[in-house]
Amino acid sequence: MATASEITVIGLGAMGSALARAQLRAGHKVTVWNRDGRKAEPLTTEGATAAASLAEAIAASPVVLVCLTSYEAADRLLSADAVRGRFAGRTVIQASTGTPNEARTTAAWLADAGASYIDASIKGYPDELGRPDILVFAGGAPEAFARAEPHLKAAGGDLRYLGDNVAAAAALDLGSLALSVALYAGVAQGARICTSEGVGADLLAAMIPFGEKPRDRAEIIHAGAYELASLHPGASLAVWSDVVDLIQRQTAESGISSELPDLLARLYHRALDAGHGDEDVAALYKVLRGA
C-alpha cells in the first residue's frame, strides 16, 4: 500500500492538534485534515501535510488517528459512502470520547470496511502530551496494536495494552472520568464547608491526597481565579458536564445504577444554567452557597 505519510490525524481541535504535534516531535511523517481547513495551517508550518479532502487524508497513511468530539461524530463523518471504501487495509486509532458500546459499534463497521481498529484513551491535557508519565490505554487486535504502538507512544510514555477487548479503553476512560467528576464536586463542597467557617481553601488544597488536579481546583477557588488556565490548565465546566452526561448514558447502556451520575448531573447542570460553563470546573463552588 503506497502512502504519502505514516499517520493521518483527523480532527484538529485542541487535543487533535496536540496529537499531530506529538507525532511530528516523534519524527513521523504526518498528514492532517479538519473540516475547517484553517486549523491545519499552523501544523503545516511545523512539517505536517494538509490533505485537500477527507478521502485524500485517509488514503495518505496506513494509520489513521481520529480525534473528534464524540464517537457519534466520528462514525457519521467516516462511514459516509464517499470515504468508507478508503479504509481497506488501514489501522484506525479512535481517540475520541465515547462509551464501550460505541467502541464496539465503530470496530464492527470498520471491520466491514476492511480496516483494523484500536480504541485508545489518552489521560492527559493537550499541553501534556508526549510526557513519559502520560497514561495511554489501548485495546484491539495484537497485530493492529503493533502498527499503532509507535504512534500511541508518541502521545504518552506510559502505554498500556489491554488486549483484544476493543471496549476496554473506553470503560477505563469513563471509569477514571467518573472519579474525576466526583472528586471535583467533592473539592467544591469541601471548599464551601471550609470557607463558610472562615477557613481558607488553600489549607484544604494542602491536605488533599488525591493528586495535583483536585488540589489545583481548591487553589483556584482560594484565588477566585476561575478563568481557564488562570492558574493551572484544565477543561471547562461545560466539558466536564458533557462527561457526566456520557457517564449517565453508559449506565443506561450497561444497565447499572445511575444514582451517583444523576446526582452529579444536577449539580453540573445547575452550574451551567448559572452561566459558568466557560469557567474552570472549580466554579461548581459558586452554586453551593445554599438558599
Domain boundaries, the chain: 7-165, 171-287
DSSP of 192-245, one letter per residue?
HHHHHTT--HHHHHHH--S-HHHHHHHHHHHHT--BTTSSS---BHHHHHHHHH
pLDDT at 15: 93
Grid look-up 500511541 returns 152
Cβ neighbours of residue 203 closer than 8 Å, sequence gap 6 or more: 194
As a whole number of angstroms, the distance between CA 124 and CA 44 comes to 24
Give the cell for residue 244. Answer: 457526566
Give the cell for residue 130. Answer: 508526549
As a whole number of angstroms, the distance between CA 234 and CA 125 comes to 7
| CA–CA distances in Å: residue 96 to residues 12, 187, 273 | 12, 27, 26
Let me know: does 120 contact 145? Beta carbons within 8 Å. no
pLDDT at 210: 75
Per-residue model confidence as pLDDT tens for the chain (291 residues)? 556 899 999 999 999 999 999 999 999 999 999 999 899 999 999 999 999 999 999 999 999 999 998 899 999 999 888 888 899 999 999 998 899 999 999 999 999 999 999 999 999 889 899 999 999 999 999 999 999 999 999 999 999 999 999 999 999 999 999 999 999 999 999 999 999 999 999 999 999 887 788 999 999 999 999 998 766 667 899 999 999 999 999 999 999 999 999 999 999 999 999 999 999 999 999 999 865
Q: What are phi and psi of 227, to 5 degrees?
A: -65, 145
pLDDT at 213: 86
pLDDT at 212: 83
| CATH superfamily assigned to domain 7-165 | NAD(P)-binding Rossmann-like Domain (3.40.50.720)
DSSP of 76-128, one letter per residue?
HHHTSHHHHGGGTT-EEEE-S---HHHHHHHHHHHHHTT-EEEEEEEES-GGG
Grid look-up 501534556 returns 128
As a whole number of angstroms, the distance between CA 92 and CA 8 comes to 10
pLDDT at 291: 55
Q: Which CATH architecture has domain 171-287?
A: Orthogonal Bundle (1.10)
**E strands along 141-284, which residues?**
158-161
pLDDT at 3: 66
Let me know: does 197 contact 190? Beta carbons within 8 Å. no
| Prediction pTM value | 0.87
